[in-house]
Structures are given as C-alpha cells and as structure tokens.
Structure 1
Amino acid sequence: MKIANGIYMLEISANIMGTSSVINPTLIWDNDTVILIDTGFPGQLPQIREAIENVGVSFDKLNLVILTHQDIDHVGSLSTILKELPNSVKVLSHQEENAYIQGEKLPVKVAQLEANLNSLPNDLKALYEKLKAFYENNQAKVDKTLTDGEELPYCGGITVIYTPGHTPGHICLYHKQCKILIAGDALQLDGGELVQAPQSTNFDRDLSINSLKMLAKYDIETVICYHGGLFKDNANQRIAELANGHLH
C-alpha cells in the first residue's frame, strides 16, 4: 500500500500460532537507497521479494535493512535476505539489540521461556525449542549501530526514536518530511483503534509507557503499525492519550 512517494507499507500474510494474520514491513526508497524495515518471519523471503517487486522496485536493489527489534517476526527472514544478496545489504539496529541479533545473547522472550521451562505446557516447550534453534542458526552481523535521535541521511531523512519497553532496544522511525511514524511493535491497531502493544508482550511495562511519551513529542500524521497496519485518525492526539495513560 502506497503511503507517500517512495514509502510503501508491505502486507505479508502470516500464520501466528495457528491464526492467520498480516504483518507490515515498510519499504522506503529513492534513487540511491532501498530500505526494508523489518524482515518478517522465517521462510518469508519469497513473499517479501514479491511484495517489493510488486511496488516496482527491484529486490536486487535492496541495500539497507533496519530492524526495529529482535523478535522472530521482525528478524525472521534477515539471514536468508543476506544470503540472497551477499555483500550488498547493510543491517542497522539499536545498540541494545545488536547482541541479540548477532547471537551473543539469548533474545529476551526466549530467555523468559527458558527461565520457566520446567513449568511450561508442552506447546510452549516446543515453541521455546524452535525459537532457540532459530536464533542459534540465524545470527546476522549488524553493520551500523543506531542511537536515539540519530538522523539517517536516507530518502529525505529518517529519525531514530529509541522506544524501549517491548524489548530493551526497540526503536521507531520517523520520516519528518511526510510526518510518518514507523512504529514497529510500540503501537498496534486493534479493531481500527491505535493501542499500545499488549503488556504481556512487553519486556518492561514502565519503559514502554515512557516510550509513548517520547513519541508524543513528534508531529505525526500517519502511523504504520507492524501488526494492524495504517492509522491516520488524529494520530498526534491518540498518541498523547496513550502516553497519558488512557490505554483504552
């Protein structure tokens, strides 16, 4: 779906724990740079390639991947993208996420499962084994570390907003020219309403609420949520409400 010139929200079908869903990586490009923000689940390279080509951009021109955070539905196809386009794609993430993406630390959701392994039901034990095996076998090198407030000189300028809470190093990205926020999992749509990600999925509840206050400082007209898609209904006002604790 076209959001602005050179900014598209991709719509990738996914199956999440037996429920069919759609995830929304973002594609941003100009003559010099093609950026994919988040890379779907493992095994989704064919769908991602098709979605990029359908926009009219050659997949082979992809040269930057920015990861909002470490979760498997955001880093899942990264290693296969890097194998498909060797030496041409640079990976960017926040410094707090690098160790997880590079396989130096067990991702926080996997570590939480591991800490409770003996009391988990069998389906969650099986999920833990799958997740652990994935992260052990699909590390990717991060080429550039991102910091809060950094202005990336691509496609008219993209601001990094450090929004920890969902994970320790979660980031959102803000395209100032178009007043678009790429929210990752800091926000999502539920029944068409912009809400915070469920607290059960957040690493640190207090940090996640504080991060909403960070987002409220920006002039945002459009929000791209990885889960739920597009929100354009008084985005500034709604984010301010969420930041002030009006979570419903």
Structure 2
Amino acid sequence: MLEVTVRVGANQMVIHPSVIRDEQAYVLVDTGMPDCHGPITKLLTEAGFDSLAPYSIIVTHQDVDHIGGLPEFQGEGVDVYAHTDDQPYIDGLKPLIKFSGEMKTRLLTSLPQNLAAAFESAFSGKVKNVTRLLEDGEKLPFGGGLTVIHTPGHTPGHICLYHEPSKTLIAGDAMVVENGKLQGPRSTATPDMKTALASLRKLQAYPIDTVICYHGGLFQGDVHAVIEQLTESL
C-alpha cells in the first residue's frame, strides 16, 4: 500500500494506491490524480521496485482520483484492467458520472499544460485506455491470486480485489477508514448508496484479515461484523 498526498483545488487529501508484486513484474491498483505519476514512481523506487520492470494497471473504478494518472503510466505493453461497466467512462466514450464540465475545467486549469493536454487526449474517446475487461468472480494470476469482486453502487463498474494468500481486500471506495474505524462508502460520492451497501454483502464470502481502503488506508479487525452492521437495515 502506498500513501500519496494529492492536491484537489485548494485542499489536500491522502490516497492509498496498492501494489502487488510478482518475481518479475508488479501491478499498480489505481493511479491517483493527473499529477501523481511522480510521487507514486518515487514511492515505488523507495520500496525497491524496479522502475523499468514490466507492470500492469488495475483500475477499481472510473473516478478521476483513481484514473487521473493513467495517461502518464500507460505505455507500450502496459495492460489496463477495468470492469466492463466502467470501461466506456474510462475510455472517454461517456462522461465520468461524478465529474462535471465545471469540475473538469477547474482541474485542467490547475495542471501544467503538458498534463492537461495528456488528460484531455486520454479521455477524449479517441484512445482505448482499457485493454482488458474484468468480470465478477474472475481470478487473476497476480501475486499468487487476485479475485475480482464486482461491487456496484459507488459507480456501476466498481470492483474490489481479494488477495487470497494474504487474506487482504483492496476495497477501492467501497469502504473507507475514518478515525481508525471501517465505514461504508461516502454518501456524498456514492450515487446509488443502497446498491453500494448491498454489494458489501458479497464480501462476507471471503476470509478477510486486512482491508486497504483508498481513502483511509489499512484496517485490521472484525471486517465481517462491520459489514453486517452496515447492511443490517437493507
């Protein structure tokens, strides 16, 4: 798990992309905002990752703080994985659900010209960003085994990833950690809260020791009890 501080307008927030290492390569889960390539690459180097090693990218969903860094991380031979239901948005064929024209303008004007141009080009609908489509229950070979869990609600194609060898759940934005407590998705950023909470029930099928939330970081505790409490009103 990485910890990256990003600027959002006049504010800052901390995000937690994840990295899964194999012997010869690694997988980056989510890419941060458009100016996150440098900080993420620096953290990878400090953690002992070879910056020239082959890698793939898995995107948990379409939100701009997860896909914004994609243009700089993409390159020849880099596969980008995302769920089928979010692919049209990540490829720029549909506008991002929670990213208005006004928000886009504010973001682009805050970026250096080269990053703004790369962002506009990547999400113009003329570039195929997603090279591999994911489905619910699919098992990926990375890091000894990753299971894709489709958890819609926060976005239509939101996914969590379960790393079986370490019993770790990469939750994306399906849950957050606030003040050390595991909580459901933020209602202000979740268009379909009922579906998002119902999706959490799917996680009960997995023995989970650790959760990595993109917002809030690590949680270790009785994950199943928390999920039961979050979904008891459904």
Q: Same-fold call, TM > 0.5?
A: yes
The answer to whether 1:25 aligns with 2:17 is: yes
Contact 1:36/1:62 (8 A) holds in 2: no
User: What SS does the corresponding residue of 1:15 show, helix, strand or coil?
Assistant: strand
Contact 2:15/2:214 (8 A) holds in 1: yes
User: What SS does the corresponding residue of 1:105 show, helix, strand or coil?
Assistant: coil
Q: Which structure exhibits the higher relative contact order, with contacts defined as CA atoms closer than 8 Å and separated by 6 or more residues?
A: 2
The amino acid of 2:27's aligned partner reads: I
Q: What is the TM-score normalised by the length of structure 1?
A: 0.84
Return the offset for 1:132. Answer: 8.4
The answer to whether 1:145 aligns with 2:121 is: no
Cross-structure match for 1:204 = 192
Q: CA RMSD in A?
A: 1.9
Percent of residue pairs bearing the same amino acid type: 39
Aligned equivalents of 2:174, 2:54: Cα separation in 1: 25
Cross-structure match for 2:105 = 129
The answer to whether 1:232 aligns with 2:220 is: yes
Distance 1:49 1:237, change over 3 A: same
The answer to whether 1:93 aligns with 2:82 is: yes
Deviations along 1:109-141, one digit per CA (max 9) or x if unpaired, are 13xx46xxxxxxxxxx3x243468966432352
Aligned equivalents of 1:41, 1:128: Cα separation in 2: 12
Cross-structure match for 2:92 = 103
Cross-structure match for 1:58 = 50
Gaps of 5+ in 2: 110-115
Deviations along 1:41-98, one digit per CA (max 9) or x if unpaired, are 111111010011111011221421000001110001111111xxx2131100000011
Q: What is the TM-score normalised by the length of structure 2?
A: 0.89
Aligned equivalents of 1:164, 1:40: Cα separation in 2: 20
Aligned equivalents of 1:24, 1:62: Cα separation in 2: 21
Distance 1:163 1:143, change over 3 A: same
The answer to whether 1:15 aligns with 2:10 is: no
Return the offset for 1:208. Answer: 0.4
Distance 1:151 1:109, change over 3 A: same
Deviations along 1:166-199, one digit per CA (max 9) or x if unpaired, are 0110000000111100000000011111111221
Contact 1:181/1:223 (8 A) holds in 2: yes
User: What SS does the corresponding residue of 1:60 show, helix, strand or coil?
Assistant: coil
User: What SS does the corresponding residue of 1:108 show, helix, strand or coil?
Assistant: coil
User: What SS does the corresponding residue of 1:61 show, helix, strand or coil?
Assistant: coil
